Structure formats: C-alpha cells, structure tokens
Amino acid sequence: MTTARFSGLTARRGPLTTGQANMVRCMLTDPPEHMNYRVVRAVQPGTTLAAITEAVIRLVTRHESLRTLFHDDLQRVLGAGDVAVEVHDTGEPPSRAAGPDGAPLSVGGAKTGEAETPDTDLAEEVARRLHATRFALDTEIPLRVAVITSGGVPRQVVLVTTHSAMDAAGLAVLLAEWDELLLGKPLAPVTAPQPLDVAAAEHTPAGLRRSEAALRYWEGHLRRVPRSTLTVAVDGETDWLLPRLRVRSVPAARALGRISARTGASPSAAVLAALAVLAGVRARLRTVVVLSISANRFRPELREYVGPLAQDALIPVEVGGDGFDAVLRGARSATMAAYQNSRFDADALIRVMEDVQRERGLFFARDIVFNDMSVPGRGPRVSRTGEDVHSVWLPPATLPTRTSLWVHRLHGELDVTLWADPRCLPRDDTSALGEGIARLLIEAGDRDVPLAGLGALTGVVPVPRDDGWLPIDGCWVHLPEVERLTADALARLGGGEAAVVTEADGRLGHRLVCFTSAETTPRALHSACMSLLFGRMSAMAPHHYVVCATAPPPGASWQDLPRVAEGSGR
C-alpha cells in the first residue's frame, strides 16, 4: 500500500448539480455494481510506482469531481487529502507476467480478449472487489486505485470511480489524460468548468427556466404515452442479471451512411428508430417510448467536462406510419426535442411522475433504454468483413432495465449489444430483435422499407394476446391482472370481495371500474392498488371505485346494489 497525497488546493463547497443529485440518489439505493466504473489498464514497460502515484495526484488536482464529498444537498471539494493506492504482486518473475503494450484490458469488467496471465487474473480479481464495494459519499474520495506488479515491477493499474464523480463521457476524458500522463506527455490546462461552476450556472434564472421547461416537457408526455412497451403478464422484480446479445454487421454500417444521406437523420437516430419500430411491431403499439441516455454535452465548453451530466431523455417515437423513412424523420425531431429537455431536477421529476402515475393509475416502466457510446473513429476493432449479420451471446451481466441497446460502433461496422430480461423478451425473441435491427437498416439503405413487411424481413412478430388483454389509455392491460391487483389491495386493507368491470370511454377506450363490499374508501383502495403496482407490468389501477353495502348474491350484478361511496380515489 502506498499513498497519493495532494495538498495546497482550493477547498470549496456549494449546491449539487442536477446530474450529481440524480446520481447520488441512485447510488444510495442501487447496487454498487450498477453505479461504479471499473477499468483495468496495462502500463508501458519501465513505468514506476512513483510515476503512477504522481499521475493519480495530477488527475485529482485537475478535476475537483475526484476530490468531492457529498453531505445532504451540498458538495464539498477537498483542498488536501490522500488517495490510497493498493499494491498487489503476482509473485511471478517479471519475464513471465509481461503485460500488453498499454492498451486497455477491460472497462466496466468486460474483458477485451487479451490472453490470460497471472497479472491479468489478479487484476480482474482486485477490480471486481473494488467495483462491488459501495462508495461512502460523505467520507470517501471517489477514486480507488490498485497497482498489479510482478516481481515488484508495475504491470497493470486498476481504476475504480463512480457515477457521482463522472458519466461515461467524463470517464473517457479522464482515461485519455491518464494515458498521456503515463507516457510523460504534458496535458493542456483544464478549460472545462468544474462541477461547482456547473451548479452555479444551473441556479441562475436561465438555468432554472431550462430545468422547469424540461419538467413541463416530461409531464406533457407522461400524461399520454404508454407506461410500458414490453408489456407481459409477469409480476415482481428480476435480479437484473440479464442475457446480452452482441450484434455486428459491416453492411449495416454502410447502409447507415446511405440512410443519413437520404433522410438527413444521424446514424444514431436511425438505429434508435429501428429499435422503436421493431418494438412497436412486437407490442402492437403506435407510440413507443425510448429512454435515451443523453450526455448533455451540447455546448463546446462541456465537451471535456469531468463530472456527471448524463440523464434520461424521454423520446416518444411514433411508429404507426407506412414506411421507415417517415418514422425516422419523426424520431429525429423527437430526439432533438428530448435531448434539449434532458437536464432536470431528478427529485422534482419523481414528484411529477408520482402525481401522473396516481392520476392515470399506472406505473411507468423503464423498459427500453438506448445508450449510444460510439465515438467516430474510435471503438472496438472491426473484425468481420462479410455481407451478413453476426450475433453471439455474452455472459449475463446486471443492469436495472427490461431492455437496453448499447451502441459501441456505427462507422465501419455496426456493433451493438442488446440486454434483455428473458421474462419480457425470451432468447429467440431477443435474437430476432437484435439481428432484426441490423437487417432493417441494411434494407433501409436502399429504399423506404414498408412497415407492413417487417415481420418477414426481421422475424419480429406481435406477441400473442388473448381476450383478457385490452388497450386502455394507450397501454395494453390484462384484465385478470387488474382483478388480482385489486384483490391483493383489499387483502392489505383487511379483506373483502371485489369485481372489476370495463365500461366504454371515449378518452380511455375502456374505463376500469372496481366494485367492492369492503369497508373502505375509494381513495384508500386506490392508494393500496398504487402501492402494489411496481413490477406488475400488465396491471393498471382502476379508474373508478364503487363501495357497495353488501356483496351481490349468486347470479346478481354489482351494478344493481346500493352504493355507499364512489369516486376515482385520486
């Protein structure tokens, strides 16, 4: 163990940025494996432990986010402190454990395929341990460092940081600087603002207006869009250990260039539109909500910012047209509007969502997430040149979503990974969706593809639904699951009989009405239903409640009984 000690810096404190507040809230509840970054980096031969320690000091000195602690609604930037640097030796002679030539071995725990050696084994073991430990936000500097040596000679460095300190774009900036420092190259002065500077800008009148406009944008869409796309009759939460399908295609990347030239949409927007279209085919929905992780680095001064800026952008994609080009143009406009409204007060948004959920009687699922991590000119090596679509299953990994498409590369080769909860998207359906995105793009490179023929082209077909499924308020709802929800809610309130019936409604399509003889109120019953909705993807709380004096005798109707109370419960 050694120490990287920094001192003589300016200590500061102030409010959190919206990105920090969002990530701090998540870090207090989500597993550390979801919130921490881990990177294993090989070092050039001749690199000393002292050089590594000095590089750590330089990074912490340059970026206040790496020496920031959080206390309630305040951030405190340390002017002095220590970063512990663990040192682990493989016990092998240096000649046996010589590492690669400085390329990254892994990021986030996903190996790049380098040959296993004693030091890479040890590095991954140390990385997993540091990665799986939650950061103490109020006392621990958000950077963990370990050096793997062989015979005392440094071979690899493990770096672990967390989402409260930076997003993926900020991590890329940090790693580029790390590589330059270990090569002995001088770094340009930091021109990007520090998190406290961003927080100050967000609290100006203009910044507050922008955040308020984002909340209005979200609320407007949340009041009309489907609460879920991958709506199936499953309850409860998965452990979020999801199968992953990697899909690669060189012809799909070439097609993206032709699609962009014809429609004016970016390759990223085309992939997002293809995902939304095929999800809509499977769900039989005309509007598909995609939550895209927005880097929020639109202004030049934020491009090199080391801090958390990424937040969800809510993109409603209309997929009910005749051809793919029209969907893509709509998705392009929707994406631009969504990204402009993706910096917001997360706590305020949660309150908005809770109000809308109670009014609509539903729970919004984060079930289709799009994460474009591609960088033009950079990305995984293009290893295939065939005129086909290739896919391979990767080991399962944890991610808190139903389905997520990660885009690694768009130029030279389309390279994406589709994560999918098998309860919502079984493996065969995941393969059809993942490969179907590439096949749709290849076809769209030459023409406007009619949406009516996508099943034959991609193998994505509508999920079967029996007579118990109804389209209500833009969502698919399974009536037996609504009945089970109300029964469980009554059991929580002390028991009682109930029945759910549907009535025609011009706005909702169908209105769900719950009749009960329990000694309760509409508001209490609605609250109980809402408290049980999380994880029930196919249920919706009734829109109206009727409390009757007694239960009906066999063969009689609830509608004919005397009513004690009735109302929406909202």
247-257 CB burial, b ≥16 within 10 A, e <16: bbbbbbbbbbe
Helices marked H in 149-287:
168-182, 195-202, 205-222, 250-263, 267-283
Q: What is the pLDDT of residue 288?
A: 97
From first to last of the 570 residues of the chain, give the pLDDT tens digit. 899 999 999 999 999 999 999 999 999 988 898 899 999 999 999 999 999 999 999 999 999 999 999 998 899 999 999 999 999 998 876 654 444 333 344 445 333 333 345 667 899 999 999 999 999 999 999 999 999 999 899 999 999 999 999 999 999 999 999 999 999 999 999 999 999 999 999 999 999 999 999 999 999 999 999 999 988 876 556 677 899 999 999 999 999 999 999 999 999 999 999 999 999 999 999 999 999 999 888 888 999 999 999 999 999 999 988 999 999 999 999 999 999 999 999 999 999 999 999 999 999 988 999 999 887 655 555 655 567 999 999 999 888 889 999 999 999 999 999 999 998 899 999 999 999 999 999 999 999 999 999 999 999 999 999 999 999 999 999 999 999 999 999 999 999 899 999 999 888 889 999 999 999 999 999 999 999 998 888 999 999 999 998 999 888 899 889 999 999 988
d(CA 487, CA 529) in angstroms, rounded, equals 9
The CATH homologous superfamily of the domain defined by 2-193: Chloramphenicol acetyltransferase-like domain (3.30.559.10)
Query: Identical fold at 2-193 and 469-567?
Result: no
Q: What is the pLDDT of residue 489?
A: 96
Q: Is 381 helix (H, G, I), strand (E, B) or coil?
A: coil
Asked whether the whole model's pTM tops 0.75, one would answer yes
Place of tokens 């329990």: 518
d(CA 310, CA 331) in angstroms, rounded, equals 20
Q: Do β-strands 563-567 and 68-71 pair in parallel, antiparallel, or remain unpaired?
A: unpaired
Helices marked H in 366-521:
427-444, 454-458, 479-493
Q: What is the pLDDT of residue 50?
A: 95
Residue type, 558: W
- Fold category of 469-567 in CATH: GMP Synthetase; Chain A, domain 3 (3.30.300)
DSSP conformation class of 164:
T
Q: What is the pLDDT of residue 386?
A: 66
Closest CA to 230 of 476, 484, 531, 541: 476
Beta bridge partners of 15: 74
Residue type, 288: V
Closest CA to 432 of 461, 453, 408: 461
User: Cα 147–172–111 angle (5° rounding)?
Assistant: 55
Closest CA to 475 of 231, 134, 206, 160: 231
The CATH homologous superfamily of the domain defined by 204-228+241-458: Nonribosomal peptide synthetase, condensation domain (3.30.559.30)
Start-to-end CA span in the chain (Å): 58
The residues spanned by each domain of the chain are 2-193, 204-228+241-458, 469-567
